[in-house]
């Protein structure tokens, strides 16, 4: 394959994932403030939060609030125990994708960077191993689905946005390749 062809594929993957990451960072998440406060952001109007009153804020703000200890997540964020449970389910369900939160990969990157920044190499390595195993298991299943002529309806509900992006790219490449090689299929 020519270097330029790889560059095009790199660009498609990277731009798609950056778009998804941006969408997720501005999506609203529920937080429980630990104190009353008001703040403004260049991306949002003035936001007032009251102690112990659940509020919705963009994910990028929520992460800042969590890091500063000013709020707690309402919905459980990914941790080592949850990751281990999901990984176990992924191994058990040989042909079906386990349901994961829509922001799974975003949360996974966040958890990994948290452990690395705390210089907790043992925990970071443990999470990294679980994450790698799980991604490999999910990729194996996604690749299997890419080859099918029809897509099961439940598949799109069990994929994250990042996985759907990869699936659509791979599926398109496979359909195009089959059409060119044997002249069947494709648009």
> Residues 112-158: pLDDT tens digits?
887 777 777 788 788 888 889 989 999 999 999 998 888 888 888 89
Name the least confident of 6-20, 39-53, 92-106, 158-172. Answer: 39-53
**CB neighbours of residue 127 within 10 Å:** 22
Helix and strand numbers (H, E) in the chain are 7, 5
Distance CA 94, CA 137 (A): 9
Distance CA 6, CA 2 (A): 7
Helix/strand/coil (H/E/C) assignment for every residue in 123-150: HHHHHHHHHHHHHHHHHHHHHHHHCCCC
pLDDT tens digits, one per residue of 59-103:
888 888 888 888 888 887 777 788 888 889 999 888 889 988 888
Distance CA 72, CA 183 (A): 56
Distance CA 134, CA 97 (A): 10
Is residue 134 a contact partner of residue 104, using CB atoms and an 8 Å limit? no
Which two tokens mark 123?
């925990």
pTM over 0.85: no
Distance CA 36, CA 39 (A): 10
Domains annotated for the chain, with CATH where assigned, are 77-187 (1.20.58.1030)
């Amino acid at each position: 394959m020519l270097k330029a062809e790889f560059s095009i594929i790199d660009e498609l993957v990277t731009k798609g994932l950056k778009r998804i990451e941006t969408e997720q960072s501005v999506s609203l998440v529920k937080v429980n403030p630990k104190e009353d406060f008001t703040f403004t952001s260049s991306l949002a109007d003035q936001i007032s939060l009251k102690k112990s009153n659940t509020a919705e804020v963009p994910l990028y703000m929520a992460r800042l609030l969590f890091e500063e200890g000013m709020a707690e997540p309402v919905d459980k964020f990914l941790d080592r125990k949850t990751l281990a449970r999901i990984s176990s389910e992924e191994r058990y369900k040989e042909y079906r994708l386990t349901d994961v939160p829509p922001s799974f990969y975003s949360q996974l990157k966040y958890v990994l960077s948290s452990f690395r920044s705390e210089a907790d190499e043992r925990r970071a390595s443990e999470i990294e191993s679980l994450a790698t195993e799980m991604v490999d298991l999910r990729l194996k299943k996604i690749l299997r689905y890419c080859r099918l002529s029809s897509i099961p309806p439940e598949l799109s509900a069990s994929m994250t946005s990042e996985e759907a992006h990869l699936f659509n790219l791979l599926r398109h490449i496979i359909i195009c390749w089959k059409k060119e090689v044997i002249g069947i299929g494709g648009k």
